[in-house]
Amino acid sequence: MLLKSQEHLSVLKVIIITALLIIFTSSLSVSTDVDDSLAYIWPLPAQFSSGNDTLSVDPALCLSVSGKGSGLKIVEEAFERYKAIIFEHEVEGVNSHSVFNNFRKRRSRGFDIGTLKIVVHSDNEELQLGVDESYTLLVAKNEGLSIIGEATIEANTVYGALRGLETFSQLCSFDYDTKSVLVYKAPWYIQDKPRFAFRGLLIDTSRHYLPVDVIKQIIESMSYAKLNVLHWHIIDEQSFPLEVPTYPNLWKGAYSKWERYTVEDAHEIVSFAKMRGINVMAEVDVPGHAESWGAGYPNLWPSPSCREPLDVSKNFTFEVISGILSDLRKIFPFELFHLGGDEVNTDCWSSTPHVKKWLRDHKLTAKEAYQYFVLTAQKIAISKNWTPVNWFVLFCANEIASSIFKFALPLDFHS
């Protein structure tokens, strides 16, 4: 989490974004028409073909799931969510006053797509890095000659089926003239799989607390872009919002008593994300971004007047890290765990007498002690059956990279 040290970069970013916005806005004002030669699917599927038919979708669209994974509730719940999105605008005839007229209209109109068929081959719903998210999607007029037709998603896992549902919903457009939901440019035949196994978005709930409902909205929106990892930067120097049962004073470092997450809140977030095929990678950034820990346990600071990084000289520091990671292991099933490790200014270690003595006794420079800290934290994470991740900036500290990164996976794209 680079802040002060990269302020010039941030300013540059703002300038670039502003410039792009101006260009984008002025081009928008020229024309808001649609280029029909393009496929409006985001991200663009790996392979697809389309035609020239326009198909209508029945507002009473049914789901038919088959395959070994058909018993899993993930697909059914997702179908209900996507149905609400696809039929966001009320369709002509639905909820009209006369049930009879309504029925007649719909029968006579004869929708092209009345059922969405989903085939899920596996009943394994474990969600880990590299899980099979591939799917095929066919949307075509059923001529009565084939057993497939209408709309069919086929996937190896429920998570592939979720991605297929997202794509299907993007093919459906509300037509304001006929007030019906249409699929243009059918037949569609789409074969898709992600290019990257890790497609993440970072939220930072330490610098700015986000209510659970807001985090859920973010997760929901991630599913629209087929992102699959919520990188939850939970704690930093500014606040410690998460409950840690083993060290119950830690969340005294929250901004206020309302700006906190219970263990149950965290479970709820993980489970909400899983229903959308999204893993939650928790981050506990040590030893540099951890001042808030000392609000509950001041011994974690080198001294009350010199509070960061965490005191490398005390066993207690690593006991607390181990306690946090044990508690978090019960909440976060994802195999990756982020230990931060960036932006460590070791001045407090060199200037605080008892830490200075410890460095001398162990014949360590401050930089070597930093290396020792990161490595020890990684070992703790590994002992809890986690694959540790660190910020990329550690790679740049060449002297310590070789030893540290035998365990670290530089998988985060946001560093």
Contacting positions for a copy of itself (CB under 8 A): 32, 88-90, 176, 179, 212-213, 243, 255-257, 260, 262, 264-265, 267-268
CB 121 within 8 A of CB 155: yes
CB of 178 to a copy of itself, least distance (A): 11
CB of 264 to a copy of itself, least distance (A): 4
Residue corresponding to tokens 């029945």: 58
| Overall size of the chain counted in residues | 415
- Least Cα distance to 223 among 300, 301, 279 occurs for 279
The single residue of 133, 166, 237, 343 carrying the catalytic annotation is 343
Cα(152)–Cα(119) distance, integer angstroms: 8
- Integer angstrom CA distances of residue 110 from 57, 106, 114: 9, 6, 9
Cα(278)–Cα(231) distance, integer angstroms: 10
Q: Which lies closer to a copy of itself via its Cβ, residue 76 or residue 90?
A: 90
The two three-digit tokens of residue 384, written as one number: 């809890």
Q: Which lies closer to a copy of itself via its Cβ, residue 37 or residue 256?
A: 256
- Least Cα distance to 242 among 230, 227, 259, 229 occurs for 259
Q: Is 343 a catalytic residue?
A: yes
Q: Which lies closer to a copy of itself via its Cβ, residue 133 or residue 327?
A: 327
Cα(216)–Cα(161) distance, integer angstroms: 21
CB of 260 to a copy of itself, least distance (A): 6
Cα(286)–Cα(355) distance, integer angstroms: 17
Q: Which lies closer to a copy of itself via its Cβ, residue 174 or residue 407?
A: 174
* Buried b or exposed e, range 296-308, using 16+ CB within 10 angstroms: bbeebbbeeebbb
Strand partners, 43: none
CB of 269 to a copy of itself, least distance (A): 11
CB of 215 to a copy of itself, least distance (A): 12
DSSP single-letter state for residue 150: E
Angle CA 361–340–347, to nearest 5: 40
Helix (H) or strand (E) holding 169: helix 158-171
CB of 192 to a copy of itself, least distance (A): 25
Which residues participate in catalysis according to the annotation?
A: 343
